Amino acid sequence: MSVVTRFAPSPTGYLHVGGLRTALFSWLAAQHNKGAFLLRIEDTDMARNSEAAKDAILKAFEWVGMSHDGEVVYQSKRFDLYKKYIDQLLAEGKAYKCYMSKEELTALREEQMAKKERTRYDGRYRDFTGAPPEGVEPVIRIKAPQEGTISFVDGVKGEMNIAATEVDDFVIARADGAPTYNFVVAIDDALMGLTDVIRGDDHLYNTPKQIVVYNALGFDIPNFYHVAMINNEQGKKLSKRDGATDVMDYKTMGYLPEALLNFLVRLGWSHGDQEIFSLEEMIVLFDPNDINKSSSNYNLDKLLWLNAHYIKEAPNEKLIALLKDFGVDLTGNAKASAILTATKERGKTLVELAEQIKLLTTAPTEYDAKSAKKAFKGEAKEILSTFADMLALVQPTTKEAYHAVMEKIVEEKEIGFGKIGMPLRVSLMGSMTGAGMDEVMAVLGVDETIARIEKAIARIE
C-alpha cells in the first residue's frame, strides 16, 4: 500500500515552527515512500476561522517548497458528509441523543471533583427510552466500549494500552449540529486514505477516541506517530519569545527556507552525527520510526549556524534575487560577485548580509565614536596619507595587490599591522566591523578608496 500522510492545521492563527516540523515529518515520510502528502484545513470552528490565517498557512508552504498532493480539503465544506455518518451511527444504535443540560453537567462534575474522581460523563442517556425533557437541544454522543482495552502501536511511543473506562461516551455533534474535532478527524483521515498520521504528542490522548470512531464506522485504523514537543533552551514549552513565531517571520528575519527545514528535521530526528542535510538527503534518509521519543530543545545558535552555511553555499544569482527584499539590489552590478565574496562569510542572515553590503558600498557619513577614538590617534593621519599616495602610485587591481601595499607600509614604517589596519578600516567602513580590508578595497577601487581615506584625514584634522 502506498504511504499517505497529511498535515491538518486550524486556520485560527499563523503557522508556527512546531506545526511546520510536523508537516515536514509528514511530507518526508510520503516523499521517502513515493506516496502522497495531503493538506487539510480544519476550519469547523467558524467563530475562530480566519481567511488571513488560511492564506498564511498556504504561503508558508509555498515559501519552504513543500508541495502537497491534490486539492486542499476544507472541513467547513464537508458538514453534509459528517451529518451522514452521525445519522448512520444513530440508526445503528452506536450513538445516541443526550439531553443533559449544562447545569446537570456542571453539577455532575462538581460532585465527581468533591469525591476526587476523574470528571467524566456518566452515561445517563446511553440507553434512555423515555420522553425527552422539554427545552433541551440534545448533543449526540457515541457509545464508547465500557470494558476491555483500547490498544494501538505508536511508531514513536511504542505499544499504548488505554483502559476503555478512560474514554467516556464523548460528544460527536453539538446541540447546534456542529460535529466535534475527534469525530471529523477520524472520518477525514479514513476517507482521505491516510496510512500514517504523524502529529504532536499533545494529540496522543485523542487517539483512543478516534479509534472508537474508526471502529464504530468500520474504517481501517492508520499507523500513528506522536512526536514530542519542542522546548526552549531551558527545557520549558517553546514560546513566541523563544522562537515559536510565524514561519513567515523567519523569511522577514533573513533565514533561508532550506536552513529552517534542516534545523527542524534535527529537532526530533537524527541520522548518526550528521547535521547538514539537503532536502534530497532528508527524503532518502527519513524514516518516521526513527523519530526520537524525547523532547527537543530549540537552539537559535544552531539555526544561525545552519543559515550562515546555506548563505555561503548559495549561488550568487540566488542571493542577488533574495537581497532585493532587504534593500540591496546588485542586479547588473559588475562587481556583484566580488561584493558577495567579500561579505557573505559575515552574514548569518540575509538581514546581516544586506547590512554588510551596505557598509561596503556606501561611503560612511560619520564614524563610530569609540572606533574613531581608538583608530584615529598617534601616527594614523600620516600612515593613511602615505598609504593613499602609494595606492595612487601603484594602482592595485586585486585584493592581493592591495594587501601587498599594506605590507609595504608596515615594513617601511616598522609598525604593527594594526597601525594601518585599524585607521584604514574605520576610514573605509565607519567602524571596526566589515569584510577584510584587501577585499573591500578591491571592490571599491583605487579612486573610491583614496576618497574615503582623504575624508577620514579631514575628520582627523
What pLDDT digit, counting tens, does each position of 82-91 carry? 999 999 999 9
Q: What pLDDT was estimated at residue 390?
A: 95
Does residue 106 carry a pLDDT above 90? no
Rounded Cα–Cα distance for residues 59 and 311 (Å): 22
Rounded Cα–Cα distance for residues 256 and 348 (Å): 10
Q: Does residue 377 fall inside a structural domain?
A: yes
Rounded Cα–Cα distance for residues 233 and 227 (Å): 18
Q: Taking a C-beta distance cutoff of 8 angstroms, is the pair 455, 363 a contact?
A: yes
Using CA atoms, how far residue 137 sits from 87, 96, 99, 133, 173, in Å, is 16, 13, 7, 9, 11
DSSP bridge partners of 199: 226
DSSP bridge partners of 171: 141
Does residue 50 carry a pLDDT above 80? no
Q: What pLDDT was estimated at residue 37?
A: 97
Q: Taking a C-beta distance cutoff of 8 angstroms, is the pair 22, 57 a contact?
A: no
Q: What pLDDT was estimated at residue 244?
A: 63
Rounded Cα–Cα distance for residues 197 and 81 (Å): 21
| Number of other residues whose CB lies within 10 A of the CB of residue 272 | 6
Task: Point out the domain boundary residue: 184, 212, 227.
Answer: 227
- The range of the structural domain enclosing residue 456 comes to 369-460
Q: What pLDDT was estimated at residue 47?
A: 65
241-283 residue pLDDT tens: 776 678 999 999 999 999 999 999 999 999 999 999 999 999 9
Helix (H, G, I), strand (E, B) or coil at 214: helix
The answer to which of 88-92, 214-218, 421-425, 435-439 has the lowest mean pLDDT is 435-439
Q: Does residue 139 fall inside a structural domain?
A: yes
DSSP bridge partners of 37: 5
Q: Does residue 285 fall inside a structural domain?
A: no
Rounded Cα–Cα distance for residues 31 and 25 (Å): 10
The pLDDT mean for the chain works out to 93
Q: Does residue 30 fall inside a structural domain?
A: no
Q: What is the mean pLDDT of residues 291-313?
A: 95
% of the chain beyond a pLDDT of 70: 98
Please report the DSSP string for 310-350 in residue order. HHHHS-HHHHHHHHGGGT---TT-TTHHHHHHHHGGG-SSH
Q: What is the DSSP letter of 346?
A: G
Rounded Cα–Cα distance for residues 314 and 252 (Å): 18
Does residue 1 carry a pLDDT above 70? no
Q: Taking a C-beta distance cutoff of 8 angstroms, is the pair 357, 319 a contact?
A: no
Residue 119: give its domain's CATH number.
3.40.50.620
Q: What pLDDT was estimated at residue 137?
A: 92
Q: Does residue 98 fall inside a structural domain?
A: yes
CA terminus-to-terminus distance, the chain: 80
Residue, of 365 and 238, whose pLDDT is higher: 365
Q: What pLDDT was estimated at residue 360?
A: 92
Rounded Cα–Cα distance for residues 8 and 224 (Å): 14
Q: What is the DSSP letter of 179?
A: B
384-420 residue pLDDT tens: 999 999 999 999 999 999 999 999 999 998 899 999 9
- Kindly name the residue from 240, 324, 370, 377 that is annotated as catalytic: 240
Q: What pLDDT was estimated at residue 435?
A: 85
Minimal CA–CA distance to 204: which of 244, 155, 241, 252?
155
112-164 residue pLDDT tens: 899 888 888 998 999 998 899 888 899 999 999 999 999 999 999 999 999 99
Q: Does residue 189 fall inside a structural domain?
A: yes
3-class SS shares of the chain: helix, strand, coil, % to 5: 50, 10, 35
Q: What pLDDT was estimated at residue 43?
A: 87
Contacts of 30 (CB under 8 A, 6+ apart): 3, 4, 5, 36, 37, 69
Helix (H) or strand (E) holding 420: helix 417-429
Q: What is the mean pLDDT of residues 47-51?
A: 69
% of the chain beyond a pLDDT of 90: 79
Does residue 433 carry a pLDDT above 80? yes
56-78 residue pLDDT tens: 888 999 999 999 999 999 999 99
Minimal CA–CA distance to 439: which of 410, 401, 393?
401
Q: What is the value of pTM for the model shown?
A: 0.90
Task: Point out the domain boundary residue: 227, 257, 278.
Answer: 227
Q: What pLDDT was estimated at residue 240?
A: 66
Does residue 332 carry a pLDDT above 90? yes
10-31 residue pLDDT tens: 887 788 899 999 999 999 999 9
Residue 403: give its domain's CATH number.
1.10.10.350
Active site residue 408: no
Q: What pLDDT was estimated at residue 118?
A: 84
Half-sphere exposure of 441 (CA within 13 A, CB side): 30
Looking at this protein, which amino acid is placed at residue 322? L
Q: How many domains does the chain have?
A: 2
Task: Point out the domain boundary residue: 227, 251, 272.
Answer: 227
Q: Does residue 256 fall inside a structural domain?
A: no
Q: Does residue 183 fall inside a structural domain?
A: yes
Q: Taking a C-beta distance cutoff of 8 angstroms, is the pair 5, 198 a contact?
A: yes
Rounded Cα–Cα distance for residues 263 and 21 (Å): 9
